[in-house]
Amino acid sequence: MKNTSIFKKKICECTKCINLVKSRSLAVPGYGYPDADILFIGLAPGRYGADKTGKPFTKDASGKIFQTALSLSDMSMEPNGLDQREELLKAYVTNLVKCNPRDEKGNNRYPTSDEVENCLEYLHDELDLINAPVVVPLGKLSTEHVTGRKCKKLSSLHNVPIRMEKFWCVPFLHPSYVARGAYSRETYFDDFRSLSKFVRDNK
Ligand code: SF4
């Protein structure tokens, strides 16, 4: 059985980013099945969601869309929950940066490049240990770090599989983009259904 507790402890005790240690309520490691079929990578914990709950993509607007998309496409990230049916795909969900970045007004902001750099070792730990056959970066910054390439327009890469050395990378638009109405919810849910089929065909 894979043991995620070693890097979870390191993340929870991490104080590398002075500003984020001040703004976060808690550091948020990834969550889900250690032997996942699919690994999602968001940007950072949101102030109304993961920064309060300690679980990526829960409670806030992005989390609600993400959770609905998972459930409609037969994926689960609840290894200890009720959803343990055999046919469900196992998901693991994490963020590029594990602490909530806020601006001077207390709103979510993008992490700085130094903050991303500081946190990358934890993402690499997660990628290595989980070793999922399909990795889905959510949003532009996560896609750039997973693929190692600059990405001008994420919409042109959305839901297009890219073969990497150890896994398939399937970039996706971030749920916050959908939450603010820039992309149709129904189409996004359909995209998750096609992603689910892709994982089943490639796991
Ligand atoms: S964002 Fe990452 S590197 Fe920075 S303090 Fe949080 S856990 Fe540490």
Q: Tell which one of 16, 51, 145 to mutate to probe ligand 1, the residue whose CB is within 8 A of the most ligand atoms.
A: 16
Q: Decide: 95 and 78 in contact? Cβ < 8 Å.
A: no
Which residue, judged by its Cα, is nearest atom 3 of ligand 1?
A: 119
pLDDT at residue 83, rounded to an integer: 64
pLDDT in tens, 5-14: 888 999 999 9
Q: Decide: 129 and 4 in contact? Cβ < 8 Å.
A: yes
- pLDDT above 70 coverage of the chain, percent: 98
Q: What six digits make up the tokens of 6?
A: 């070693």
Q: Which contacts qualify for 154-162: CB closer than 8 Å, 24 or more apart?
A: 155/183, 158/191, 159/191, 159/194, 159/195, 161/198
- pLDDT value at 105 more than 80: yes
Q: What is the pTM of this model?
A: 0.96
Q: Which residues of 56-85 are buried (b: 16+ CB within 10 A; e: fewer)?
A: bbbbbebbebbbebbeebbbbbbbeeeeee
The average confidence (pLDDT) of the chain is: 95
Cβ–ligand 1 contact at 120 (below 6 Å)? no
Among 127, 128, 99, which residue's Cα sits nearest to residue 16? Answer: 99
**Residue 79: which pLDDT band, with cuts at 50, 70 and 90?**
confident
Mean predicted confidence (pLDDT) in 16-45: 96
pLDDT at residue 3, rounded to an integer: 86
pLDDT in tens, 121-145: 999 999 999 999 999 999 999 999 9
The SS3 call for residue 21 is helix
Q: Tell which one of 112, 115, 121, 124 to mutate to probe ligand 1, the residue whose CB is within 8 A of the most ligand atoms.
A: 115
Structural domains of the chain ordered from first start: 5-202 (3.40.470.10)
